[in-house]
């Protein structure tokens, strides 16, 4: 009985201390305001929203209206046209070239390019398993041509079986940022991973049967580091190539083009010390491909650890026409202060600056965080930080003169993830989508790309008059 009393005494004291901590003044560390301790916040949703009302960021500015100068030097104030129900892509580009122009121009020239139009999609667990990006890729390929699933990590256990392709591998050890294995930032790829390998290491990608363009491809491109050299064999479509990769600390490639294939195998028959694989890009020779660089639990902060040499290697070996930054599930969360959210976006802006140096012509688009909900005393509601972070993301996009897409609004705003859960298109964590939900939202973004592309072609036609 004495032990029961002591346990109750300890619990009661702890609860009392936590309740009294509510009266502490705001605390700051390096300019970042820490969350207020409020043990009863879940029981008072009204107080929760009232407390944060003063923290709402200012409304982001409207994008400047583009001006068209014709061949006869006539200046036209161009008015964009967006179909009803289609979310605008807000373009904060400056000068004669808007932020999305390079991507639209690449689509316009897709049949003339000597490579596919490539999209790099950086995200967190929102696109894990190729949810959303699978259907975005498919719709772009349906409209502008192309094949292949894009980028696949060499030894990522999550990719052993996703929706349209499967990856099997042997004798590869995964090193991922913030993972359990030792991690050397200078060795990572854009996927923020690398896979230590030895002679006999291999991985195979197999496309499943289905109607998706991504289940087959004609080009397999392996990216690796081989500081002491390596011998690599690539097999697909009845063809095989064995390449001796010279010693180098930079990222190198082994590339094979074949008739349409739904299986590609990469083998190391000779691997010098320190050999590591990054992954492979599977695509067509033309058309469009989307590379999904998702990282579970990421806020996007670790992207800044990708060094300039790595970015330069990708710009040479796998150049991109559109780069999308889509984060927020691990930032706009319950308890996150405005200071923390601003700090994260400051680092995102720094990464955008790094991208501009490596990919000076690529279009860059900031994708807003999607709706995610939490349970409180009043039921299940959108986390209050979500609309705040959307506004802050748009402000950052405006400051960086890149494009912005409000996926939060496109999916229906507050409470929309709950409605998707009811339709069995989102998980019951009220955060992540199912493949059905991914297809729905990918379609909305694709419709916006089509409308933006049409505005671009109209504008260019006027310039020729």
Profile the chain (465 residues) by mean pLDDT over runs of 10 residues: 57 58 44 45 41 54 80 83 96 88 98 97 96 97 97 88 86 93 96 97 92 94 98 97 97 98 96 96 98 96 97 98 97 92 97 98 98 78 94 96 97 95 95 96 98 95 86
Tell me the two tokens of residue 322: 């559109």
Domain map (residue ranges) of the chain? 84-146+286-465, 148-285
What's the confidence (pLDDT) of residue 273? 94
3-class secondary structure per residue, 307-336: CHHHHHHHHHHCCCCEEEEECCCCCCCCCC
Distance CA 173, CA 182 (A): 11
DSSP assignments along 226-292, one per residue: ETT-EEEEEEETTEEEEEEEPPEEEEEEEEEEEEEESEEEEEEEEE-TT-EEEEEEEE-SSSEEEEE
The yes/no answer on whether domain 148-285 falls in CATH 3.20.20.150 is: no
Distance CA 247, CA 275 (A): 10
What's the confidence (pLDDT) of residue 158? 83
What's the confidence (pLDDT) of residue 134? 96
Distance CA 226, CA 301 (A): 28
Q: Does pTM top 0.85 for this prediction?
A: yes
What's the confidence (pLDDT) of residue 2? 53
Q: Which of 415, 333, 330 is nearest to 380 (CA)?
A: 415
Residue with tokens 């316009």: 108
What's the confidence (pLDDT) of residue 72? 79
What's the confidence (pLDDT) of residue 76? 81
Q: How many CB atoms lie within 10 A of CB 70?
A: 12
Q: Identical fold at 84-146+286-465 and 148-285?
A: no
Strand pairing report for 379-382 and 403-405: unpaired
Q: Are residues 389 and 57 in contact, defined by beta-carbon separation less than 8 angstroms?
A: no
DSSP assignments along 8-53, one per residue: HHHHHHHHHHHHHGGGSPP-EETTEEPPPP-TTGGG-HHHHHHHHG
Q: Which backbone phi and psi does 183 adopt, to 5 degrees?
A: -135, 125
The yes/no answer on whether domain 84-146+286-465 falls in CATH 3.40.50.1110 is: yes
What's the confidence (pLDDT) of residue 10? 63
What's the confidence (pLDDT) of residue 465? 81
What's the confidence (pLDDT) of residue 182? 93
């Amino acid at each position: 009985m004495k032990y029961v009393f002591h346990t109750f005494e300890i619990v009661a004291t702890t609860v009392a201390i936590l309740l009294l901590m509510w009266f502490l003044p705001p605390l700051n560390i390096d300019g970042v305001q820490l969350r207020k301790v409020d043990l009863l916040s879940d029981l008072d949703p009204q107080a929760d929203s009232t407390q944060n009302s003063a923290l709402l960021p200012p409304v982001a500015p409207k994008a400047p209206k583009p001006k068209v100068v014709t061949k006869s030097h006539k200046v036209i104030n161009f008015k964009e046209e967006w179909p009803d129900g289609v979310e605008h892509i807000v373009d904060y580009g400056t000068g004669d070239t808007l932020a999305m122009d390079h991507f639209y121009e690449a689509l316009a020239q897709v049949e003339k390019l000597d490579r596919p139009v490539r999209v790099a999609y950086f995200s967190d667990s929102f696109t894990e398993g190729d949810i959303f990006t699978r259907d975005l890729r498919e719709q772009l390929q349906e409209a502008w041509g192309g094949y292949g699933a894009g980028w696949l990590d060499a030894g990522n256990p999550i990719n052993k079986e996703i929706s349209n392709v499967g990856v099997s591998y042997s004798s590869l050890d995964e090193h991922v940022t913030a993972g359990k294995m030792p991690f050397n930032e200078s060795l990572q790829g854009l996927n923020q991973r690398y896979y230590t390998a030895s002679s006999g290491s291999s991985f195979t990608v197999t496309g499943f049967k289905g109607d998706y363009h991504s289940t087959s491809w004609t080009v397999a491109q392996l990216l690796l580091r081989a500081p002491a050299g390596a011998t690599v064999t690539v097999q697909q479509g009845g063809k095989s190539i064995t390449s001796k990769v010279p010693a180098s600390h930079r990222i190198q490639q082994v590339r094979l083009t074949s008739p349409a294939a739904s299986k590609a195998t990469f083998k190391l028959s000779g691997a010098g010390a320190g050999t590591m694989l990054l992954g492979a890009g599977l695509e067509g020779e033309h058309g469009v491909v989307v590379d999904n660089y998702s990282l579970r639990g990421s806020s996007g902060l670790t992207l800044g650890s990708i060094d300039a040499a790595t970015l330069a290697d990708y710009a040479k070996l796998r150049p991109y026409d559109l780069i999308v930054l889509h984060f927020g599930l691990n930032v706009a969360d319950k308890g996150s202060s405005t200071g923390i959210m601003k700090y994260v976006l400051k680092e995102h802006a720094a990464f955008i600056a790094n991208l501009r140096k490596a990919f000076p012509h690529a279009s860059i688009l900031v994708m807003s965080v999607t709706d995610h909900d939490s349970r409180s005393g009043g039921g299940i509601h959108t986390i209050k930080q979500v609309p705040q972070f959307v506004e802050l993301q748009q402000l950052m996009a405006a400051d960086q003169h890149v494009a912005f897409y409000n996926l939060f609004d496109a999916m229906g705003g507050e409470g929309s993830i709950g409605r998707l859960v009811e339709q069995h298109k989102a998980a019951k964590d009220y955060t992540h989508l199912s493949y059905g939900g991914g297809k729905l939202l990918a379609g909305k973004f694709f419709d916006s790309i089509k409308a933006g592309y049409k505005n671009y072609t109209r504008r260019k036609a006027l310039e020729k008059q």
